[in-house]
Amino acid sequence: MILDGKAVSKKILDNLKVKVGNLSKQPHLVVILVGNNPASQIYVKNKKLAAENIGIKSTIIELDSQIKETELLNKIEQLNNDSDVTGILVQLPLPAHIDKNKIVTAISPKKDVDGFTPENVGRLAIGLEPYFYPATPQGIIMLLDEYNIPIEGADTVIIGRSNIVGKPMAQMLLRRNATVTICHSYTKNIESKIKTADIIISAVGKKIVRCKMVNNNSVIVDVGIFRDSNGKLTGDVDFDFVSPSVKYISPVPGGVGPMTIASLMYNASKVYDR
Amino acid sequence: MILDGKAVSKKILDNLKVKVGNLSKQPHLVVILVGNNPASQIYVKNKKLAAENIGIKSTIIELDSQIKETELLNKIEQLNNDSDVTGILVQLPLPAHIDKNKIVTAISPKKDVDGFTPENVGRLAIGLEPYFYPATPQGIIMLLDEYNIPIEGADTVIIGRSNIVGKPMAQMLLRRNATVTICHSYTKNIESKIKTADIIISAVGKKIVRCKMVNNNSVIVDVGIFRDSNGKLTGDVDFDFVSPSVKYISPVPGGVGPMTIASLMYNASKVYDR
């Protein structure tokens, strides 16, 4: 059975549109784009469109790739103090001369719609409510919940340990009382770990989950997205061979991608007092 | 083979004594004790003694169990701003009328020798260097390293997901490229997970690791410490039956306990500029 991220995302966004329409204060998302990376330009434009579609005010601030770190920090400080701005998102990657961690850390935790600041990450890790959960893991939980897939007590395997997906995913699954195994490039016998898991979340960016590794009850969530040697958009999972052998699987495209957008918009629709 | 935490701890403390003697500024650890919990009184006294033994200045601030939360917060703020104080530790548990998270969060991350503030937890989680690592997991890594037990690529199982041990342990093992499985009360088939692991770290507080669950190459780290029905101090592991069947095992007492003290003193000997 297909985990239809596109359909679930649409449903969430429709609900958010109603919610935003009823807010006493219109949310305002500011997206900062440094330089002219073509992929980043598309992502930023899509985020702006998604926000506007559900009634969130949205501004893109385009900055020169040569901008000094201190200037960017000043810009963020100004947005932190601007009571009209409710969400700030710095599109990654940043140019090499800018310290990404310094920039992310500078965003007010109450406007950090990506959920990447140390305070929000730390709150997630110690069991406090963060102001924002990271978009991709939150979107995956929303997708599993929509299909009533049990998380409590499930054996879950996460492949990949990035700050954006793998590590926060582990925290969020733990909160829901799953048993969590985090695998990565140093993991041995990964096949047997995948084979015995109930839920497998793969976020690697290369073909890794093959038919022989899964079982009839596996739930497969494919976070990877890249172009194969024929230029076709694909994920970490060998979809054609794996999909007939498992219980649930998310496609690429149309699975985690749209859920990440819905989840980000869920965050962008939150308004905190300063 | 026994992981002799007592001996390793002594070695670390001896080295720290030399290090502290050579510092240009004497570290000063302030331990705050609220109320008169007898166990806490002993812990606090032991920490003070351990600090003084290696040349760290140490102060215990005893506060009435009825103290208001705001008064305690003011006290911490005062210590944060006192340039003579390099480390602040609030002994847990706190009385029920005080919000533990609020108190811990108030400690300056650069004086947070327990490594419990959201900023330090968040830094650990996103791969930045925290100012302080949590004492118990850091002590366990020190113990494994002392015996040259390979961590990279090892299958590790952590039993228990507390903020003090389980969760930061997972982060620290991931940093060292271990594969990490986090188990807890909702985990199914825990025997098979323990059986196939290279390193098992148990932090539950009840007898859970039995002889039939281990293998000849298992490394067992026992964090649990409690009194059995005969009043004898014991750990999570059925030591008498397990120890002949594994490669390495830490005893209780004399294993993780002394390592936690050595690790805390390692933290307390760090001096940050404000």
pLDDT tens profile B236-270 = 999 999 999 999 999 999 999 999 999 999 999 99
Task: Output the DSSP codes for A127-194.
Answer: TSPPSS--HHHHHHHHHHHHTT---TT-EEEEE---TTTHHHHHHHHHHTT-EEEEE-TT-S-HHHHH
Rounded to an integer, the average pLDDT of B166-172 is 97
Do the beta carbons of residue B28 and residue B56 sit within 8 Å?
yes
Q: Do B126 and A121 touch (CB under 8 A)?
A: yes
Reduced 3-state DSSP string for A37-74: CHHHHHHHHHHHHHHHHCCCEEEEEEECCCCCHHHHHH
Residue B239 and residue B160 share a domain: yes
Closest residue to B125, CB basis, from A122, A183, A189: A122
Q: What percent of chain B has pLDDT over 90?
A: 96
Using a CB-CB cut-off of 8 Å, the residues of chain B touching A119 are 118-119, 122
* Interchain CB contacts (distance < 8 Å): A and B: 106
B184 reaches A (C-beta below 8 A)? yes
Q: What is the C-alpha end-to-end distance of chain A, expressed in Å?
A: 44
Q: Do B184 and A182 touch (CB under 8 A)?
A: no
Domain boundary among A60, A79, A111: A111
Residues of A noted as catalytic: 47, 91, 114
The pLDDT assigned to B102 comes to 93
Residue B246 covered by a domain? yes
Alpha-helical runs (H) found in B127-181: 135-146, 166-175
User: What digits encode the pLDDT tens for the residues A20-31?
Assistant: 999 999 999 999
Residue A245 and residue A142 share a domain: yes
B102 reaches A (C-beta below 8 A)? no
Distance CA A100, CA B146 (A): 35
Residue B163 and residue B59 share a domain: no
Do the beta carbons of residue B9 and residue B31 sit within 8 Å?
no
Q: Is the pLDDT of residue B142 over 80?
A: yes
User: What digits encode the pLDDT tens for the residues B20-32?
Assistant: 999 999 999 999 9
Residue A103 and residue A210 share a domain: no
In chain B, the number of structural domains is 2
B207 reaches A (C-beta below 8 A)? no
Residue A121 covered by a domain? no
A176 reaches B (C-beta below 8 A)? no
Q: Which residue has the tokens 């936690």?
A: B260
The pLDDT assigned to A274 comes to 64
Distance CA B90, CA A20 (A): 42
Count of other CB atoms within 10 angstroms of residue B229: 6
Q: What ipTM does this complex have?
A: 0.92
Distance CA A199, CA A195 (A): 10
Residue B272 covered by a domain? no
Residue A223 and residue A162 share a domain: yes
Residue A74: CATH number of its domain: 3.40.50.10860
Over chain B, what is the mean pLDDT? Answer: 96
Residue B130 covered by a domain? no
Residue A93 and residue A139 share a domain: no
The pLDDT assigned to A172 comes to 98
Residue B160: CATH number of its domain: 3.40.50.720
Distance CA A72, CA A7 (A): 37
Residue B56 covered by a domain? yes
Exactly one of B4, B75, B91, B167 is catalytic; which is it?
B91
Q: Is the pLDDT of residue B274 over 80?
A: no
Domain that holds residue B215: 135-257
Distance CA A266, CA B183 (A): 31
Distance CA B103, CA B68 (A): 11
Report pTM.
Answer: 0.94
Closest residue to B186, CB basis, from A177, A182, A188: A177
Residue B183 and residue B103 share a domain: no
Per-residue exposure over A115-127, b if at least 16 CB sit within 10 Å of its own CB, e if not: bbbbbbbbbbbbe
Residue B253 and residue B173 share a domain: yes
Considering only alpha carbons, which residue of chain A is nearest residue B171?
A167
Exactly one of B4, B47, B198, B236 is catalytic; which is it?
B47
| Residues lower than pLDDT 70 in chain A | 274
Largest CA distance in chain B: 54
A183 reaches B (C-beta below 8 A)? yes
Q: Min CA distance, B162 vs chain A (Å)?
A: 8
Q: Min CA distance, B193 vs chain A (Å)?
A: 10
Residue B144 and residue B196 share a domain: yes
Q: Is the pLDDT of residue B109 over 80?
A: yes
Residue B126 covered by a domain? no
Query: Helix, strand or coil for residue A212?
Result: helix
Q: Which residue has the tokens 């029905």?
A: B229
A193 reaches B (C-beta below 8 A)? yes
Residue A180 and residue A73 share a domain: no
Return the structure tokens found at A208: 């890794």
Q: Min CA distance, B128 vs chain A (Å)?
A: 8
Residue A254 and residue A143 share a domain: yes
Residue B268 covered by a domain? no
Residue A213 covered by a domain? yes
Do the beta carbons of residue B262 and residue B139 sit within 8 Å?
yes
Residue B253 and residue B142 share a domain: yes
Active site residue B47: yes
